[in-house]
Each structure stands twice: as structure tokens, then as C-alpha cells.
Amino acid sequence: MAKYGHVVVSVENPILPNEIIENTPSSLDGLDQETEHDLRITGCKLIQTSGILLRLSQVTTLTGQVLFQRYYYSKSFVRFPMEYTAMACVVLASKLEETSRHIRHVINVFHNMKQIRLGQTPVPVILNRSFSNQKKQVIKAESRILKELGFCVNVEHPQKYIIMVAEVLGHSQNAPLIQAACARVLKVPLPTSPPWYMVFRVDTETIDKVCTTILELYTRVPLSQEELEEKVEMAKKVLEIETKSETESETESSNLTSSEWTENSTETTTLDSSINSPVKDSDTVLDDVSVSLAESK
């Protein structure tokens, strides 16, 4: 697949390299790793819950979550709001999986989820100026996702490979094994010479990492969305101060350079006028040049 964007979504790269995972745009903008991790979890939960409320298929929901994760390995949570991006991922995923949902319905679902989260009685979103602004933000977020991923957004999920794996292992018709989805629980031996995972070009380190990540999702208690938004806002203010300071420094440097350039330009003009003057005596010209240099100092 041609790499049109910074992050390409394909079955060949289901796991991003460590250098990308460890050096995210959000961390470069001053957001700590734990907060970013919680934002990723919260965003995916919002997409999952909205998918259920919108009666989307699980494949559509998973597509939205993949787009969400990949986008924020290319852009920062500090610069681009998480909730609007999550909405845009739901809208875009519903189009990609041919289960399209209107933007108004997606906004309404997220609006109701927020009301429930804050302990309020859910009421439909009012079609006013605020709604129009939200709609514009979601459309902009969708465009940014497409642009950043280079329009390479056809996501291939691993579910379709489960049957193939079961057939390779010789357990495609084993109903209890399929229901349990775990050979170890049923004590079904797996090939060891060579190890079964080598057939699928996976090493033990990757398997352990995936298992640990999944288990962490069941044990980790992330901060509330409101607390996360406060942390993002603090990081944004710090970033704005740093950016303003850098801009002022660059402006001062630019002004200084401009001033030096003006002086040099004046000096050059003086030299040119002296050299091009209709004085035929070379000694006189040299004296004039020396005077000009002395005055410029």
C-alpha cells in the first residue's frame, strides 16, 4: 500500500513501532503519558457506547476506534479536541462500513451520553447555533482525519482471520473451543515445534505485550472525562505561553536582523555611490571609502 499519509492503516502494520508509540505528538506538547492513555481509553469507550446507541455493527465501531487511535499517533490531544474527533470517527466509520448515520444523530447521542454522565435528564439536542457550530467542528474533524491518514482508511480487522487460524490449528469444527476462544482453558495442546505463533510471524514479546494491554483495560480506572479535559486545558495553556514566548523571541531576532540588514544596506549604498562617483583619482576614492567605513562604525 502506498504511504500517502504519516500513518497508514493496513493489515501489514497492526502494531505501530515503539518509536511512534513512545514519542506521540501529545507528549511533545507536554501531555503526560498517563493522561494520554486515559484519553485513548475514554475516546474508544465513547465510540463503543455511541455505536451501541446508534445500533451500529461491532465492525463499524471497531473501525471508528482504529481511526481514532491512529489519528492521535499523528496529531495531539492538546491541539485537537478528543470528543469531536470521536464523533467524526463514528461518522466516518459508518460511511466506510456502509452503515451510515447522520451527523445530527451522532451529535445527539454524544449529547445524551454527556447528560447521563453529569447526572442530568437526557433531552434531545436543540437545533440552534450551538448545534450548527458542533456540526461544523465534526465535519472539520472528519476532514482532518481523512487528510492525516492520506485517505487510506479501509481498515481490516483480525476477526475474519480467526476462522483461518482455527482451521490451521485443526479446530475449526470444535464448538467448545470456539465458544471458549482459548485453547489453554480447555487444555488443548498447541504445536510447539515450531511454536504455533511462528506460523503467523509473531514473537512472544508481541504476544505478551498484547495480553498485558488487554488485561490492563479491565483493571485500569481512568480519570473522568471532565478531569481529563481539565488536564488537556492546562497543557494547552502552557503550550500557548511557550509558543507566545518563542514567537516574541523570533520577532525580536527578526527585528534585530532587519536592523542589521538596513545598516548593511545603507553602508553598501554609500560605498556604491562613492565608488561610482565621477572622481577619477583612485586615491580620492579610497579616502572617501575609508571615511564612509569610519562613519558607519
**Distance of alpha carbon 292 from alpha carbon 231, whole angstroms:** 60
149 in Cβ contact with 88 (< 8 Å): no
Report in angstroms the alpha-carbon separations of 131 from 128, 143, 198, 278.
5, 18, 52, 75
Per-residue model confidence (pLDDT) at position 202: 83
171 membership: H or E segment, kind and range: none
At which residue does the C-alpha cell 534585530 appear? 256
Report in angstroms the alpha-carbon separations of 35 from 47, 89, 211, 234.
18, 21, 21, 12
Residue 131 has which C-alpha cell? 448545534
Q: What are the pLDDT tens digits along the chain (297 aa)?
A: 444 445 555 555 566 777 778 889 999 999 999 999 999 999 999 999 999 999 999 999 999 999 999 999 999 999 999 999 999 999 999 999 999 999 999 999 999 999 999 999 889 888 899 999 999 999 999 999 999 888 878 787 777 777 777 777 776 666 666 666 666 666 667 777 778 788 778 888 888 988 898 898 888 888 899 999 999 999 999 989 888 887 877 777 776 666 665 656 555 555 455 445 444 454 454 445 444 544 444
Per-residue model confidence (pLDDT) at position 271: 46
**Distance of alpha carbon 111 from alpha carbon 224, whole angstroms:** 16
**Distance of alpha carbon 231 from alpha carbon 39, whole angstroms:** 10
Looking at residue 195, the DSSP 8-state letter turns out to be B
At which residue does the C-alpha cell 505485550 appear? 209
**Distance of alpha carbon 36 from alpha carbon 72, whole angstroms:** 10
Per-residue model confidence (pLDDT) at position 246: 79
Per-residue model confidence (pLDDT) at position 23: 87
At which residue does the C-alpha cell 491512529 appear? 70
Per-residue model confidence (pLDDT) at position 47: 97
pTM for this structure?
A: 0.71
Q: Tell me phi and psi for residue 195, to 5 degrees.
A: -55, 145
**Distance of alpha carbon 22 from alpha carbon 36, whole angstroms:** 11
285 in Cβ contact with 274 (< 8 Å): yes
Per-residue model confidence (pLDDT) at position 88: 97
**Distance of alpha carbon 49 from alpha carbon 93, whole angstroms:** 14
Dihedral of alpha carbons 159, 163, 168, 172, sign:
positive
Residue 250 has which C-alpha cell? 523570533
Q: What angle do CA 187, 191, 192 make, to 5 degrees?
A: 105
Residue 23 has which C-alpha cell? 514519542
| CATH 1.10.472.10 corresponds to the domain 1-157 | yes
Per-residue model confidence (pLDDT) at position 279: 45
Per-residue model confidence (pLDDT) at position 285: 47
232 in Cβ contact with 77 (< 8 Å): yes
